[in-house]
Amino acid sequence: MIIGNGEIGETGAAAIAAADFVIRFNECRSFVVSPGRTDVVAVCNTGRPAKAMLGSDAWRSHPAVTEASEIWSVRDPEKFAALRVPLAVSHPELGDFCDDYTSQFNAFCAEAGKQHVVVEKVIHEAVDKALATFDPAPYVVPSSGMIAIAETFSRFPKSEIGLAGFSHTGWEWHPFAAERQLVDSYIADGRLTRYAAEPSLSSSQGA
């Protein structure tokens, strides 16, 4: 199960509870309504989100983070180093977006006895190529959720993979409309199962 930070329904919570492998994101806001198993925390390892997590004792001691055996850094350092110059022209307000904290996550994992996985840029580039089919508006990078889905496909090609808490909304420079279409195509092909939210259970914004 890959769990975003959007709403999670009762069927999604049940699927999470029954899953053999659970992936959460960043601050693990999904844990509020679906506590329990966590095998991976996928993190944005660049920019302000990375800095905030690494500087937070609450994040480091979060039950999902402490239970996870792996941390996935979803932003390849080489890829984001190459983005720095063009982004300085197109999006000068994102001056710290490419600041790389991968080594700090590596140190955290070494200290905490966790495996640190850095998602390779070929995964990111494959997601960009797949999104292009849906003619997205100009964007900066795919969401962490989309990168984690692609990494999960690569790592577990024969597994049944479920999604919960994916609202495909959030930061304006992620291509969420195209991402929703791409995920819908994976569902239609039988590669993913989406667990829709009921209004009785909810967590925080966007995935």
Q: pLDDT tens digit string along 99-125?
A: 999 999 999 999 999 999 999 999 999
Q: Give the span between the Cα atoms of 103 and 58, in whole angstroms.
A: 20
Q: What is the pLDDT of residue 196?
A: 81
- Asked if 151 and 122 count as a contact pair (C-beta separation under 8 A), the reply is no
Q: pLDDT tens across 162-190, in order?
A: 999 999 999 999 999 999 999 999 999 99
Q: Give the span between the Cα atoms of 114 and 192, in whole angstroms.
A: 27
Least confident among 14-18, 151-155, 193-197: 193-197
Residue 199 pLDDT exceeds 60: no
User: In 10 A of CB 90, how many CB atoms?
Assistant: 11
Q: Give the span between the Cα atoms of 52 and 47, in whole angstroms.
A: 9
